[in-house]
Amino acid sequence: MSLLEIEKLSLTIGDTPILRDVELSVAPGEVMGLVGESGSGKSITALTVMRLLPWAARATGHVTFDGIDILAASEDQMCALRGDDIGMVFQEPMTALNPVKTIGEQVAEGIRWHTRASRADAEDRARKMLDRVGLPAAQFPLSRYPHELSGGQRQRVVIAIACALKPKLLIADEPTTALDVVLQAQILDLLRDLVAENRMGLLLISHDLAVVTEMAERITILRHGEVMEAGDTARTLSEQLHPYTRQLAQASTHVPARPRTHAVGQDNPLLQVAKPLLQVDSVTRDYPGRRKSLLKRAAPIRAVDDVSFSIDPGQSVALVGRSGCGKSTLARMVLALDGPTSGTIRFRGQVITGKSEAELKPARRDMQVVFQDPYGSFDPRQKVEKLVGEPLHVLENKPTNTERREMVAKALHEVGLSPRDMDKYPHEFSGGQRQRLSIARAIITRPKLVVADEPVSALDVSIRAQILDLFAELNQKLGVAYLFITHDLTVARAITDQVMIMHDGKIVERGRTSEVLDHPQSEAAKALVAAAPDLHRAIARRLQEQG
């Protein structure tokens, strides 16, 4: 007998169909993975079970939880279920907690509401629950406020809230997407343990096939609001009978074809004479510490600590590290958008630190950037022509209007867009197309170095594969060097020759990508590699377990 049974669930919001005939079930103690790309309707499915839908949503079909018809239940009945029998964990831990209430209040609130326990009893139980999710009383008293906790710690609080009353079903909607791989592994472990302890059913929603494979016995693959395939995880993913399943699986492990990988200096002594394109010498960046009182400040925070490295022309280098390790700060300094506290950065032999904007112009011509967020990186008020052509601003001879349009057209063509797109606004493009625009903007001045800050982490897996191909192709064709900043080892493996592992502001390991990822030496690299979900490995493990 299933705990949760969804049958023929269809849902529309206004006139827009969101779900069609979705079928899904979760048994007690079972982990069901719900996988899909953005817009597939996986979050809406979860909200339907909680009946927390936007008011314009209309659902038909059957959703049965523990014998209760969810779609027909009264709001009072739902309130009794929510937080008591069904708990839910959300994607964004930074905003999921009320900033003006202590974590104790927030965990105890649901307990008091459902059990009518006294304040002291509820707080006692909240304390135990916080201990259980790994927030011990010594460091995390009930009186802590959410802003005093990190993202991973906040997600633990959210899990404590959801599991405080030992629900029969836990719904986790992308619970680790906002966290780095090491935190992700920790949170997934915690969820796995809680499921085992309380024989909870877990509906785990994720876009990441590898994560779901590691966690779930059964899997449901959703696309455009319809179930593509459902069944045993190991079998579904090893057989890949459904074309969409195959497409997803292949995209998740995609490695672009790169016939000529860059010859690395240490492999080929002849090339060592070539001058490095970028040279970073003992760069340090401090941020002033928090003001403790009128005169006292906490010690400065060292975001980047005595970092030195170099990149050769045409070389593709990954900078990998956990969130907050200083990799983005380092990238901004390389781009001369931020100045180091000490140390120098040379680009093509010229020092670029401590220079005025005018002096930087020659360097800016040869150095461009691609950002993570394909939505935030374009001014919505300007047309593509202006946006993609923006770096032309640094050219010595300002191109005429016709020349400019020609250059933009060429750049668009190179990234697989049509020159006709020039007169559109950015919002007329999809996420993947916008990232192509971003790349077009980066290559229009024919730079020697492109710094890419998590350029594919906001994209769906199939789009991600295409963009990685594009990066690889441009590396081959234009000989442009990359500094790829990422927390995702599969991306590093796919696109780079060398990898640098950054930890606590320092570069702790550097070497050939495959070598470092297969045989990590430093603790930080080992932790990253161990925590990184890997689809092949996960499938193999599952098959092995099942014999």
Partner 1 sequence: MTVYLLKRLAIALITLVLASMVVFAVLEIIPGDPARLMLGMNASADQVELLRNQMGLNAPLPARYLHWAGGLLSLDFGRSYTYSVPVIDLVRERIVVSLPLALIALALSTIIAIPVGLFSAGRHGRAGDTIAMGAAQLGVAVPNFWFALMLIYLFAVWLRLVPAGGFPGWSAGIWPALKSLILPAIALALPQAAILARVTRSALIEVLNEDYIRTARAKGLPYRAVLWRHALRNAMIPVLTILGLQFAFLLAGTIIIENVFYLPGLGRLVFQAITQRDLIVVESVVMLLVAAVIAVNLLVDLSYAVVDPRLRSRQ
Partner 2 sequence: MTLRFDIPEENFADILVKAFTNRSFLTGFVITIVVAAVAIVSFFWTPFDVTRLIIAEKTQAPSPAHWFGTDHFGRDILSMIMVGARNSIAVALVAVGIGMGVGVPLGALAAARGGIVDEVVMRLNDLVFAFPALLSAIMITAIFGPGALNAIIAIGIFNIPVFARVARAGALAIWPREFILAARAAGKGRTLITLEHVLPNIVTLLLVQGTIQFALGILAEAGLSYVGLGTQPPMPSWGRMLFDAQTRMVAAPWMAVFPGMAIVVTVLGLNLLGDGIADILDPKSRRQR
523: enclosing H helix or E strand: helix 523-531
Do residues 203 and 49 touch, judged by C-beta distance below 8 A?
A: yes
What b/e sequence results for 528-538 when a residue is b if at least 16 CB atoms lie within 10 Å of its CB, and e otherwise? bbebbbbbeeb
Smallest gap, in angstroms, from Cβ of residue 375 to partner 2?
9
* Residue 337 interacts with, from partner 2, partner 1, none (CB under 5-8 Å by kind): partner 2
Residues 183-202, interacting with partner 2 (CB under 8 A): none
CA-based nearest residue to 407, from 379, 444, 440? 444
**Among 19, 333, 335, 538, which residue interacts with partner 2 (rule: CB under 8 A)?**
335
Per-residue binder mask for partner 2 (CB under 8 A), 26-55, x = binder: ------------------------------
How far is residue 64's CA from residue 70's CA, in Å, rounded to a whole number? Answer: 6
How far is residue 163's CA from residue 146's CA, in Å, rounded to a whole number? Answer: 18
Output the CA torsion sign for 260, 266, 271, 272. positive
Smallest gap, in angstroms, from Cβ of residue 100 to partner 1?
5
CB-count burial class (<10 Å; 0-12, 13-18, 19+) for 48 = buried
Smallest gap, in angstroms, from Cβ of residue 360 to partner 2?
7
Residues 392-431, interacting with partner 2 (CB under 8 A): 393-394, 425-427
Smallest gap, in angstroms, from Cβ of residue 377 to partner 2?
4
169: enclosing H helix or E strand: strand 169-173
* Residue 113 interacts with, from partner 1, partner 2, none (CB under 5-8 Å by kind): partner 1
* Residue 381 interacts with, from partner 1, partner 2, none (CB under 5-8 Å by kind): partner 2
* Residue 425 interacts with, from partner 1, partner 2, none (CB under 5-8 Å by kind): partner 2
The residue (of 136 and 380) whose beta carbon lies closer to partner 2 is: 380
Smallest gap, in angstroms, from Cβ of residue 156 to partner 1?
14
Smallest gap, in angstroms, from Cβ of residue 450 to partner 2?
10
The residue (of 74 and 401) whose beta carbon lies closer to partner 1 is: 74
Strands 31-35 and 16-26, how do they pair?
unpaired
Residues that bind partner 1 (CB under 8 A): 50, 52, 75-76, 79-84, 87-88, 90, 92, 95-101, 106, 109-110, 113-114, 145, 147-148, 158, 161-162, 290-294
* Residue 361 interacts with, from partner 1, partner 2, none (CB under 5-8 Å by kind): partner 2
CA-based nearest residue to 161, from 114, 226, 199, 208? 114
Residues 341-380, interacting with partner 2 (CB under 8 A): 357, 360-361, 364, 367-369, 371-373, 376-380
How far is residue 42's CA from residue 209's CA, in Å, rounded to a whole number? Answer: 14
Per rule CB under 8 A, is residue 155 in the interface with partner 2? Answer: no
Secondary structure in 3-state letters for 22-88? EEEEECCCCEEEEECCCCCCHHHHHHHHHCCCCCCEEEEEEEEECCEEHHHCCHHHHHHHECCCEEE
The residue (of 243 and 288) whose beta carbon lies closer to partner 2 is: 288
Output the CA torsion sign for 168, 173, 176, 179. negative
Per rule CB under 8 A, is residue 285 in the interface with partner 2? Answer: no
The residue (of 87 and 455) whose beta carbon lies closer to partner 1 is: 87
Per rule CB under 8 A, is residue 391 in the interface with partner 2? Answer: yes
How far is residue 110's CA from residue 363's CA, in Å, rounded to a whole number? Answer: 57
Strands 498-503 and 506-512, how do they pair?
antiparallel
The residue (of 162 and 449) whose beta carbon lies closer to partner 1 is: 162
Do residues 257 and 475 touch, judged by C-beta distance below 8 A?
A: no
* Residue 505 interacts with, from partner 1, partner 2, none (CB under 5-8 Å by kind): none
**Interacting residue ranges for partner 2, rule: CB under 8 A:** 335, 337, 357, 360-361, 364, 367-369, 371-373, 376-382, 387, 390-391, 393-394, 425-427, 438, 441
